[in-house]
Amino acid sequence: MKYIRAKANFFRLSDEKFIVMGARIIECMKTSEIFTAPSPTVAQLEEAYKAYYQAVVPAGSRSRETQALKRERKRVLAGLFQQLVYYVNTVADGKLSLLHSSGFPVLTGKRTGVIPDTPTGIILEDGKRSGEIAFRFTPVGRDMQYEYSFAVEDLSNKELVWGESLFTTRSFRTYQGGFTAGCYIYFRVRARNKNGVSDWSAAVRFLVR
């Protein structure tokens, strides 16, 4: 059975919520063209629902007898819905539209992690001294690591020769030195988190001073 499924742990619900939810589920079963042979039957559900509903109001008196009777009937109805939800999940086989049509609340599981977006807004600037540059870019989220690298152009092959990857958690101004004044360099960056790695950004060209 698929992880996307209807759920029916109703006994701990407040009486008000259980009454509303129970009525909705029974109505959905009565009119459904998908769940045509519910187990337990609609008649069994309606009988247990009526008995529980009739016990709720007297239980407001707080007498031990009426409170106990309400709990007993609530437990019976909750048990029937627990049986019914197995039938619903079997028929629906993880199809979300069918599960929602049953009237039951639906458990869809945890949200799948998302690979980060590619960083944008890259700015390269002169550093504090000759041969140094400063770079910054727009952050793409929390708990992120950024991988970046620099390249110089191989004029003979008209290709970029990228250096080793460097890593940082900063997206604001960072300084990098060791370049030759008067040459063009290129910068690229990508984001990493526990779910994966983004594409590399477009390479940005800069004249070192």
Q: Please identify which residue in the block is written with the tokens 């259980």.
A: 18
pLDDT tens, residue by residue, 130-174:
999 999 999 888 889 999 999 987 666 677 889 999 999 989 999
**What share of residues in the chain are helix, strand, coil (percent, to 5)?**
35, 25, 40
Q: Which helix (H) or strand (E) holds 92?
A: helix 64-92
CATH entry 2.60.120.10 includes domain 120-207: no
- pTM of the predicted model as reported, rounded to 2 decimal places: 0.51
- DSSP 3-state of 191: strand
pLDDT tens, residue by residue, 36-64:
999 999 999 999 999 999 998 787 777 88
What pLDDT does residue 96 have?
A: 85
Q: 190 pLDDT exceeds 70? A: yes
Q: Please identify which residue in the block is written with the tokens 């020769």.
A: 161
The structural domains of the chain, with segments of one domain joined by +, span 5-107, 120-207
pLDDT tens, residue by residue, 102-137:
999 988 765 556 788 999 999 999 999 999 999 999
pLDDT averaged over every residue in the chain: 89
Mean pLDDT computed over 76-87: 94
Contact between residue 98 and residue 91 where contact means Cβ atoms under 8 Å apart: yes
Q: 8 pLDDT exceeds 80? A: yes
Q: What are the residues whose beta carbons fall under 8 Å from the beta carbon of 90, sequence distance 6 or more?
A: 1
Among the ranges given (29-33, 71-75, 142-146), the one the predictor scored with the smallest mean pLDDT: 142-146
